[in-house]
Structure 1
Amino acid sequence: MTFDIPTIDIGPFIDDARSSERHTVAQALDRACAEVGFIQIVGHGIPDQIIDGLADGLDEFFALPLSVKKQYRRPPEQNRGYSPPKSESLSMSLGVPAANKMNDFYESIVIGTEASDFPQLDLPVSSYAPNAWPEESPGFTSAVQTYFRHAQSLSRVLLRAFTEALRLEDGYFDELVDHSIDAFKMNNYALPEGDVRFENGATGMGAHTDFGMLTILWADQVPGLQILGSDSRWHDAQPADNALLVNLGDAMARWTNDRWMSTVHRVNPPIVDGQIIRRRSAAFFFDGNYDAVIETLPGCDRDGVESYPPITVAENIAAKVAGLRTGVAPAGATREAARVRAAKYESAK
């Protein structure tokens, strides 16, 4: 069975001169979201120098001593700040225990929208926490803020395209995303290069689905990312030249009543020719308003059957985050957990 991540030029939704192509792009998005749940997008409009600046900023921050990075450690119950290696286990966001309770080798730092970005609203700090910008890494701060703004714009472009793909009215989601929780998680796979010794089946990042509406992923073009296909095998995925990876999160799967897929994926420690090499990634999560209710969209009920009860965006995220950081299995992830447990250990070739 062939496994292919479709490459789609999103340019017609950015360039008005190409607007006549939008229907074709929307149809391609509908097929990709229904069959794979992952897409390579080109024509996304984020300049190369902005992406190169982001990579340089990540290098600057992750090169800091661990003692310095830990000064910006994520507070309990908030999704902003630094997490050192082996402090999370993403597979537990699906209720699938790792060999060790906290077994993921990546380190990360998360920034995102803050309550102060929406002064007219009374927003909970738990969803819109203040950012911890490292004073010791000024290049990181400026590069990340610039890329973040571009990713925010691109996420809204993609949502317009998804709205057309779902045959919804223009602007259908506007009131569900006007104070969206936008989070940006930057990862460094922190095993030293060349070290091929792993402790008790350690993972780069455990098997999981994303939590929100959609994810825009920049990553190094090195091995590591794998997607669980409908054949119950893990398939390698690397971004093509000038492409970003986009995948759907649980909120969009719930909104579409599983017409579209929130695909299980993981990251193995990146090994080339028997040697570990460095891998970096940066995932922009477009999650929607904390108080937006996720319920079946018009046209997505299947013969009157709705697979999920209504839930807010914040409730959905909180259940998954509790799993990855505290080891408490979330309710409602049984199907995804069963898929992970049934997956064949080896990757498809």
Structure 2
Amino acid sequence: MTFTVPTVDISAWVQEGPAAAQAEVVAQLDAACRTVGFIQIVGHGVPASIRAGLASAMDDFFALPLAAKKQYVRPAWENRGYSPPKSEALSYSLGVDPITRMNDFFEAFNVGATLADYPHVELAESQYAANTWPSAGAFENLVSVYFEDARRVAETLTRIFAAALQVGPGYFDAITDHSINVLRMNNYALPPGEIELGADLTGMGEHTDFGLVTVLWADQVEGLQVLGADQVWHNVQPADGALLVNLGDIAARLTNDVWMSTLHRVKPPVVEGRIKRRRSAAFFHDCNADAVISVLPQFVRDGEEPLYEPVTVQEHIEAKLRGSRAGLKNTGARREAARVQAVSG
């Protein structure tokens, strides 16, 4: 069976189209969530100019000298600011040992929703830390504009999810009204000599995303690989104008693994002794930190136990971050780790 990432036009939901058109989007998205867990979405309404502005801001920041970028390093638990190359190992978020400790060679910059964004809710700063912004240039403005559009797309998707799961239109509003939203901007490009180019290169180790849904802008450059049902890693690139969407662990937990939190990784190509540059920006819509996530009853058969115990979003995400950022293996991700260990190649 040929591996494909389905393309779904969500414009009927973005523009409040006819009921029949919306129902077709629901059916297509539900099928993709059950069979692949990754979707190409078009009709999302994010203008090309805003996507180009994001790319420009990323280019300007990542072109700075490493010493200048390191001014923006923040404590791992805050999930904000700059992450230098080889300071993380995403496979640790699943409890899987990487080839070498903390070996993912990407660099990243994170911004997210803060306490100030939710003034009427009493929240802990641990998941809603203030942002650090580079002092020069238009970075903050360009990134903030994209952030708001990506948030809108993610919230549109949760409306479609509610229809697909038949949980009522307000279900996701109740668990995302002060969502942990993070935009992670990634850069994969290192000069020769920084790493051993003959090694099994890991741009970003195999992992599942932590939250409900991820909206990804990415270059049309090889590197992103998705694990198919055939247990083979497949290359995935965004189509012209499309955003890639994938489900995270919260979606899998809600549906008892009927919807797929698909394993993926990044292995950028090497051309003439250099890693070919690749950029991406992942918007993580992760639900409220204090939301308790339990398997929806309709996904548990009579006489069977759910695959997952209830957990708060904060507990789940902090265990994942302790793995990827602090090198503390996540021992609570047994199902995900088993999937990684069953795959070769």
CA offset digits 1:119-169 (Å, max 9, x no partner): 222211110000000103x22111100000001111110000111111121
Residue identity matched to 1:130: A
Which residue of the partner structure matches residue 324 of structure 1? Answer: 324
C-alpha distance in 2 between matches for 1:327 and 1:76: 10
State the secondary structure of the residue aligned to 1:302: coil
TM (norm. structure 2) is: 0.96
Q: How much does 1:74 deviate?
A: 2.0
C-alpha distance in 2 between matches for 1:40 and 1:272: 27
- Structure 1 runs (4+) deviating above 4 angstroms are 193-197, 272-275
Which residue of the partner structure matches residue 65 of structure 1? Answer: 65
Q: Structure 1 residues 18, 196: CA separation in 2 closer, same or farther (over 3 Å shift)?
A: farther
C-alpha distance in 2 between matches for 1:192 and 1:268: 16
Which residue of the partner structure matches residue 235 of structure 2? Answer: 236
State the secondary structure of the residue aligned to 1:40: strand
Which residue of the partner structure matches residue 26 of structure 1? Answer: 26
State the secondary structure of the residue aligned to 1:129: coil
Which residue of the partner structure matches residue 116 of structure 2? Answer: 116
Q: How much does 1:274 deviate?
A: 7.3
C-alpha distance in 2 between matches for 1:45 and 1:302: 39
Q: Structure 1 residues 337, 245: CA separation in 2 closer, same or farther (over 3 Å shift)?
A: same
Which residue of the partner structure matches residue 103 of structure 2? Answer: 103
Q: Structure 1 residues 193, 214: CA separation in 2 closer, same or farther (over 3 Å shift)?
A: farther
Q: How much does 1:65 deviate?
A: 1.2
Which residue of the partner structure matches residue 313 of structure 2? Answer: 313
C-alpha distance in 2 between matches for 1:126 and 1:270: 36
Residue identity matched to 1:36: V
Determine if contact 2:39/2:246 at 8 Å carries over to the other structure: yes
Name the stretch that deviates more: 20-29 or 48-57: 20-29
Q: How much does 1:98 deviate?
A: 1.2
Residue identity matched to 1:339: R
Q: Structure 1 residues 194, 330: CA separation in 2 closer, same or farther (over 3 Å shift)?
A: closer
C-alpha distance in 2 between matches for 1:278 and 1:177: 34
Which residue of the partner structure matches residue 7 of structure 1? Answer: 7
Name the stretch that deviates more: 272-281 or 73-82: 272-281
State the secondary structure of the residue aligned to 1:77: helix
Q: Is 1:50–2:50 an aligned residue pair? A: yes
Determine if contact 1:60/1:139 at 8 Å carries over to the other structure: no
Which residue of the partner structure matches residue 125 of structure 2? Answer: 125
Q: Which structure 1 segments of 5+ residues have no match?
A: none
C-alpha distance in 2 between matches for 1:285 and 1:118: 17
CA offset digits 1:213-242 (Å, max 9, x no partner): 000000000000000112111000000001
State the secondary structure of the residue aligned to 1:198: coil
Which residue of the partner structure matches residue 145 of structure 2? Answer: 146
Q: Is 1:259–2:258 an aligned residue pair? A: yes
Q: How much does 1:18 deviate?
A: 3.8
Q: Structure 1 residues 234, 194: CA separation in 2 closer, same or farther (over 3 Å shift)?
A: farther
Determine if contact 2:256/2:299 at 8 Å carries over to the other structure: yes
CA offset digits 1:272-317 (Å, max 9, x no partner): 5875311000000000100001011242223343111100011110
Q: Is 1:340–2:344 an aligned residue pair? A: no
Determine if contact 2:224/2:268 at 8 Å carries over to the other structure: no
Residue identity matched to 1:154: V
Cα RMSD of the aligned pairs, angstroms, is 1.7
Matched length: 344
Which residue of the partner structure matches residue 86 of structure 1? Answer: 86
CA offset digits 1:6-40 (Å, max 9, x no partner): 00001111112344301111011111001100000
Residue identity matched to 1:134: P
CA offset digits 1:28-76 (Å, max 9, x no partner): 1111001100000000000000000100010011011111111110224
TM (norm. structure 1) is: 0.94
Residue identity matched to 1:8: V
Q: How much does 1:202 deviate?
A: 3.3
Q: Structure 1 residues 196, 102: CA separation in 2 closer, same or farther (over 3 Å shift)?
A: closer
State the secondary structure of the residue aligned to 1:283: strand
Alignment of 1:187-198 (within 5 A): 187-192=186-191, 197-198=196-197
Residue identity matched to 1:83: S
Residue identity matched to 2:310: P
CA offset digits 1:141-199 (Å, max 9, x no partner): 11100000001111110000111111121111111111111000000013238999427
State the secondary structure of the residue aligned to 1:16: coil
Taking every aligned residue pair, what percent have the same amino acid on both sides?
Answer: 55
C-alpha distance in 2 between matches for 1:190 and 1:167: 44
